Amino acid sequence: MSMSQTQTQYLAGPVYSPAQRAVHWLHAALVLTALPLGIVIGKAAPGTFSDATMNGLYNAHRSFGFMVLAVAVLRVAVRIANGAPAPVPTLTPLERIASTAVHHLLYVMVFLVPLLGWAGTSAYRAEITVFGLFNLPHFVAEDRELSKTILGAHGAAAMLLALLVAAHIGGALMHLVVKKDGVFRRMWPGA
């Protein structure tokens, strides 16, 4: 079979279910909102923003961060229910191993990062409002030192998540623009 036949055949190959594609892009939008908000909060020099603005940034960050966790639960449920299409047959073994590893780590980090943020904020005893609709309960005893440690781990884990997302987006664009092998289409809404 020639290369072009293989590609043509593959370009009509299996795709993620509509529910999985919808929840992937919703999740991507939430992660790509929570991350920069966290970076601004974590890196802004003191005095850059007024207290009111800083409060708003914290509330927005916690709200979007919690939504990342909530949609992660939904997403895993949809993944268990719908499975995933078989890997694209033209992937090299390295591509298959690397992409699977990144996908699994992304699934782990979208739980770990928000849970560490929630735990650290619990230990600090700051209010955790979700878009002003309801508050999350505190599940760690009040302890400012512990809070600092947990939020340090939260920041480090979030940076690892950012690296994984960058590698993931880079890989997806490589498949779309350079390899043109149909991988991108599997997750694209119109497929």
Given the rule CB under 6 A, which residues bind ligand HEM? 24, 27-28, 31-32, 34-35, 38-39, 41-43, 61-62, 65-66, 68, 79, 84, 99, 103, 106-107, 110, 113-114, 117-118, 121, 128, 151, 154-155, 158, 161, 165, 168-169, 172, 183-184, 186-187
Min dist CB 29 to ligand HEM, Å, is 8
Amino acid letter, 54: M
Query: Is residue 20 packed enough to be buried (19+ CB in 10 Å), middle (13-18) or exposed (0-12)?
Result: buried
Nearest CB to ligand HEM, comparing residues 27 and 48: 27
Cα–Cα distance for residue pair 26/3, rounded to 1 Å: 35
Nearest CB to ligand HEM, comparing residues 2 and 36: 36
Nearest CB to ligand HEM, comparing residues 2 and 168: 168
SS3 134: strand
CB atoms within 10 A of CB 56: 12
Amino acid letter, 20: Q
CB atoms within 10 A of CB 156: 12
Nearest CB to ligand HEM, comparing residues 2 and 29: 29
Min dist CB 4 to ligand HEM, Å, is 21
Min dist CB 151 to ligand HEM, Å, is 4
Min dist CB 160 to ligand HEM, Å, is 10
> Could you give the dihedral angle defined by the CA atoms of residues 131, 132, 137 and 143, in that order, rounded to the nearest 10 degrees?
90
Min dist CB 10 to ligand HEM, Å, is 11
Cα–Cα distance for residue pair 107/175, rounded to 1 Å: 21
Identify whether the C-beta of residue 65 lies closer than 8 Å to the C-beta of residue 57: no
Min dist CB 5 to ligand HEM, Å, is 21
Q: In the block, which residue shows the tokens 């909102």?
A: 33
Nearest CB to ligand HEM, comparing residues 2 and 86: 86
Nearest to 82 by CA among 123, 21, 127, 41: 21
Nearest CB to ligand HEM, comparing residues 9 and 34: 34
